Amino acid sequence: MHDVVVTGIGATTPLGGDMPTTWTAMLAGESGVRALDDLPDDLPVRLAAPLRVEPGTALDRVTARRMDRCEQIAMVSAREAWADAGRPEVEPERLAVVIGTGVGGVLTMLEQDDVLERSGPRRVSPHAVTMLMPNGPAAWVSLDLGARGGARTPVSACASGAEAIAMGLDLIRLGRADVVVAGGAEACLHPLPLAAFAQARTLSRRHDDPAAASRPFDVGRDGLVLGEGAAVLVLERADFARARSARPHGVLAGAGLTSNAYDIVASEPTDQARAMRLALESAGLEPQDVDHVHAHATSTPHGDPIEAEAIADAVGARPVVTATKSMTGHLLGASGALGAISALLALRDGIVPATRNLDELDPRVRLDVVRGEGRRGDWKAALANSFGFGGHNVCLAFTRA
């Protein structure tokens, strides 16, 4: 099997319009969560983490109008990652794209339904189908880059972005591609998704202090905060990258995927831990090799302690742990890709961002969770967890370049 390196990264998030800005904000402990003023008065939750920079600033107007917001931000992030990688010269048939999403073009779906009801079928956009389809982000990026080695779209709820990266790893290891552009995108800040998550009692209602609403592992957490964003990595076969003198950010060493077969929403630690063990096996690592874990940790009362138990079971309590959703909110299908980049940069730069809003650690969380300020160290290997409704568990393993 071929070794796989990460040569490019890109993102647009509630913390910044690109990955360097986002990473700087993460290390500074900033929050992208705020109260939204343009929502219906009767909506029970009015907190979210919207993009810091609108995607239209990076796309031409004609192209942007043919895309759903989810597709726009995937394109913005992919272009940044491609430029960061040095725009590799690769045969189109050996270049693949894998962009995951949880719900895809839901904003287009809801908007065009309003148009249909208000103005009739003749006013529905002729671009509606290609704007709302979940494979739209991968399709648009493949068109932009001329990728003919496949354009794929894993849809596994909040694990989608991480599963896309795992799929990219497989494509290269199996010899089906030399370069894969992989990641996730999500944009669904709308009254309906907010109301639906609120009815499921998963959202924080800390309206008095929005920046403190997302608080993974904290004893006072009361739910997650919905966010929007995209994150993309350029994966390359290691010898292909060496041949063009590319300087990788790090190594995508392995991946593990499992399913709980337990409950459509609730999770349990056994198969989360098994995903971590499979990632270690795939990477040729032992539990004691892991220095850092980027936790999925969404800030829900039920989910955080379960993941903490799984981490302790799989790799013990020694690795330093962080949860950057405390700053970005939960980017759903993009969250796993952004978490992967955070873990990768922690190894590259030797610093793990602190978990924001962690005032009192839940006593059930027996882990070394970084808080206050970032933790510096000589980190060599990291895991990035991502879990989704439906029982999807993905763990990615990275090592320093």
Alpha carbon separation from 110 to 71, 261, 345 (Å, rounded):
16, 31, 37
**pLDDT at res. 2:** 87
Supply the DSSP symbol for 355: B
Q: Nearest to residue 164, comparing CAs of 231, 264, 68?
A: 231
Which amino acid makes up residue 180? Answer: V
Say which of 190, 249, 292, 296 is annotated catalytic.
296
pLDDT digit string (tens) for 371-388? 999 999 999 999 999 999
Give DSSP secondary structure letters for 321-351. Answer: EE-THHHH-B-GGGHHHHHHHHHHHHHHHTE
Q: Does the pLDDT of residue 57 top 90, yes or no?
A: no
Q: Is 2 a catalytic residue?
A: no
Say which of 292, 294, 330, 392 is annotated catalytic.
330
Domains and their CATH numbers in the chain: 4-244 (3.40.47.10), 254-399 (3.40.47.10)
Q: Does the pLDDT of residue 132 top 80, yes or no?
A: yes
Average per-residue pLDDT for the chain: 97
Q: Is 207 a catalytic residue?
A: no
Q: Is 70 a catalytic residue?
A: no
Say how many residues make up the chain.
401
Q: How far separated are the first and last CA of the chain, in Å rounded?
A: 18
Say which of 158, 188, 249, 392 is annotated catalytic.
158
pLDDT digit string (tens) for 229-271? 999 999 999 999 999 999 999 999 999 999 999 999 988 899 9
Q: How would residue 188 be classed by pLDDT, with cut points 50, 70 and 90?
A: very high
- Count of C-beta atoms within a 10 Å radius of residue 46: 20
Q: Does the pLDDT of residue 1 top 90, yes or no?
A: no
Torsion of CA 170, 87, 398, 178, to 10 degrees: 20
- In the numeric block, the tokens 């909040």 are attached to 158
- Count of C-beta atoms within a 10 Å radius of residue 387: 31
Strand partners, 386: 394
> What is the model's pTM?
0.98
